[in-house]
């Protein structure tokens, strides 16, 4: 069992980018951090661009409407170039080309994470129509979308201004949109008459989990989350505190308490469900996957002798009763203060355990007539293929608490 580090893996051969861990507007991580992506240093062309994607810094562009298709042919700023060593980390947030590099580096990073979980390259789902993904870092629009052959980002800030609310500087938003592409590429697209409301909810949930697990590849985010919670990711009050103080959007979304009783009836026809309802429908599944992540983390703590098995069992009671167990919580905090690095390793391992199981699940699931019950079954099958019966009960329990039953 070992977690992988993309930075370590690509430090000698890869290309350096500076990426924000969270939106620069969130203030938790005000400075962008240096990461290494898999592209060999010196191989990226101006844009940045490579064989599968290219950034176009469009000027005065209107966002694409339903019928619009790439390529964009209007005015654009010249593509940003590497430094003489073949990297992009010489750019700082005040440089005009920073947004373009940030967008490319973030998407490449998400692909590196998930290609590792899937064990090979993940081609775009639109590859028969377009060879390369067109990436537009900024249009004056309060939204972001991933369409057929393009990815285009607006902002949550003032109209007409590329400021720290620009979505192309927000790793969560970039990774979430990329998550939609990964689901299309790996799970597939159902025929129109076999599209279900649950497929739409599953898409949103999967994209949130892609964003969460990808963000957990920033060591600084792992350290931050563990420090804030003092190692106790399960006690409900601690989780809420992370949500409140961290402004870490993906964690706030993932650590929700919604069950299938809180969302729309899944028999509602898919075309009738609003975007808001579909996002809400994703939440019980996202919450279950988050709980599984925390359970796997705790199992790693127990395996390392950092906490007792009794503690792990007690913290499940916390989850179901909502009552924090102070003795268990104090024991865990004391252990964290003695060995913070072992807690870091445990969370990284749990992250990769969940990532690998999701990759298998998505590979094996049928997009036609998809239901959460089938997703649950395929997740259990994927887990069983990897580690037999070891984690089956915990996964079933986490799903059942959300009222997702195995079909
Ligand atoms: Zn989405």
Q: What local confidence, expressed as pLDDT, does residue 324 receive?
A: 57
Does pTM surpass 0.85? yes
The chain-wide mean pLDDT, for the chain, equals: 90
Q: What local confidence, expressed as pLDDT, does residue 117 receive?
A: 97
* Predicted confidence band of residue 322 (pLDDT cuts 50, 70, 90): low
Question: How many A from CA of 277 to the centre of ligand 1?
Answer: 12
Q: What local confidence, expressed as pLDDT, does residue 347 receive?
A: 95
pLDDT per residue as tens digits for the range 5-15: 999 999 999 99
Question: How many A from CA of 151 to the centre of ligand 1?
Answer: 13
Q: What local confidence, expressed as pLDDT, does residue 250 receive?
A: 57
Question: How many A from CA of 202 to the centre of ligand 1?
Answer: 10
Please give the average per-residue pLDDT across 164-187, as a whole number: 93
Question: How many A from CA of 321 to the centre of ligand 1?
Answer: 32
| Of residues 107 and 173, more confidently modeled | 107
- Assess whether pLDDT exceeds 70 at residue 313: no
Most confident range, picked from 119-133, 159-173, 236-250: 119-133
- Assess whether pLDDT exceeds 80 at residue 149: yes
Q: What local confidence, expressed as pLDDT, does residue 9 receive?
A: 93
Please give the average per-residue pLDDT across 116-121, as a whole number: 96
Question: How many A from CA of 259 to the centre of ligand 1?
Answer: 19
Question: How many A from CA of 184 to the centre of ligand 1?
Answer: 12
Q: What local confidence, expressed as pLDDT, does residue 162 receive?
A: 84
Q: What local confidence, expressed as pLDDT, does residue 337 receive?
A: 94
Count of C-beta atoms within a 10 Å radius of residue 316? 17
- Assess whether pLDDT exceeds 80 at residue 67: yes
Question: How many A from CA of 176 to the centre of ligand 1?
Answer: 6
Question: How many A from CA of 174 to the centre of ligand 1?
Answer: 10
Can you list the domains of the chain with their CATH numbers?
A: 6-186 (3.10.170), 196-401 (no CATH)
Of 179, 172, 175, 180, which is closest to residue 156 (Cα–Cα)? 172
Per-residue three-class SS string for the chain: CCCCCHHHHHCCCCEEEEECCCCHHHCCCCCCEEEEECCCCCCCECECECCCEEECCECCCCCCCCCCCCCCCCCECCCECCCCCCCCCCCCCCCCCHHHHHHHHHHHHHHHHHHHHHCCCCCCCCCCCCCCEEEECCCCCCCEEEECCEEEECECCCCCCCCCCEHHHCHHHHHHHHHHHHHHHHCCCCCHHHCCHHHHHHHHHHHHHHHHHHHCCCHHHHHHHHHHHCCCCCCHHHHHHHHHHHCCHHHHHHCCCCCHHHCCCCCCCHHHCCHHHHHHHHHHHHHHHHHHHHHHHHHHHHHCCCCCHHHHHHHHHHHHHCCCCHHHHHHHHHHHHHCHHHHHHHHHHHHHHHHHHHHHHHHHCCCCCCCHHHHHHHHHHHHHHHHCCCCHHHHHHHHHHCCCCCC
Q: What are the backbone dihedrals phi and psi of residue 35, each rounded to the nearest 5 degrees, phi first? A: -130, 160
For the record, the structure tokens of 124 come out as 């775009």
Percent of the chain with pLDDT over 70: 91
What is the rounded radius of gyration, in angstroms, for the C-alpha atoms of the chain? 21
Question: How many A from CA of 201 to the centre of ligand 1?
Answer: 9
- Assess whether pLDDT exceeds 80 at residue 24: yes
pLDDT per residue as tens digits for the range 203-249: 999 999 999 999 999 999 899 889 888 888 875 443 444 444 344 55
Name beta bridge partners: 144: 153
């Amino acid at each position: 069992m070992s977690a992988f580090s993309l930075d370590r893996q690509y430090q000698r051969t890869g290309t350096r980018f500076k990426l924000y861990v969270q939106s620069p507007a969130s203030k938790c991580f005000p400075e962008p951090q240096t990461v290494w992506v898999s592209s060999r240093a010196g191989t990226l062309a101006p844009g940045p661009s490579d064989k599968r994607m290219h950034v176009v810094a469009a000027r005065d562009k209107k966002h694409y409407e339903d019928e619009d298709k790439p390529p964009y042919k209007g005015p654009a700023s010249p593509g940003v170039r590497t430094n003489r060593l073949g990297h992009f980390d010489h750019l700082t947030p005040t440089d005009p080309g920073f947004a373009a590099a940030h967008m490319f580096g973030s998407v490449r990073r998400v692909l590196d994470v998930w290609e590792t979980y899937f064990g090979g390259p993940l081609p775009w789902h639109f590859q028969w129509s377009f060879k390369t993904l067109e990436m537009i870092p900024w249009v004056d629009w309060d939204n972001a979308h991933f369409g057929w052959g393009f990815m285009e980002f607006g902002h949550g800030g003032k109209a007409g201004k590329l400021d720290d609310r620009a979505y192309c500087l927000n790793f969560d938003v970039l990774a979430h949109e990329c998550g939609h592409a990964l689901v299309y590429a790996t799970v597939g697209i159902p025929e129109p008459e076999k599209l279900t409301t649950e497929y739409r909810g599953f898409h949103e949930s999967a994209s949130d989990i892609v964003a969460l697990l990808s963000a957990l590849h920033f060591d600084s985010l792992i350290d931050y989350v563990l420090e804030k919670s003092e190692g106790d990711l399960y006690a409900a009050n601690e989780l809420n505190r992370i949500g409140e103080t961290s402004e870490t959007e993906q964690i706030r979304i993932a650590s929700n308490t919604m069950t299938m009783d809180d969302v729309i009836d899944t028999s509602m026809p898919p075309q009738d469900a609003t975007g808001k309802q579909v996002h809400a429908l994703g939440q019980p599944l996202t919450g279950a996957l988050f709980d599984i992540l925390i359970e796997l983390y705790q199992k790693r703590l127990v395996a390392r002798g950092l906490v007792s098995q009794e503690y792990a069992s007690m913290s499940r009671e916390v989850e179901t009763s909502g009552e924090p167990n102070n003795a268990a919580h104090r024991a865990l905090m004391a252990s964290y203060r003695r060995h913070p690095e072992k807690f870091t390793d445990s969370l990284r391992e749990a992250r990769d355990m969940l990532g690998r199981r999701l990759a298998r699940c998505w590979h094996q699931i049928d997009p036609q007539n998809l239901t959460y019950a089938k997703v649950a079954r395929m997740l259990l099958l994927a887990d069983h293929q990897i580690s037999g019966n070891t984690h089956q009960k915990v996964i079933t329990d986490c799903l059942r608490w959300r009222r997702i039953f195995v079909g």
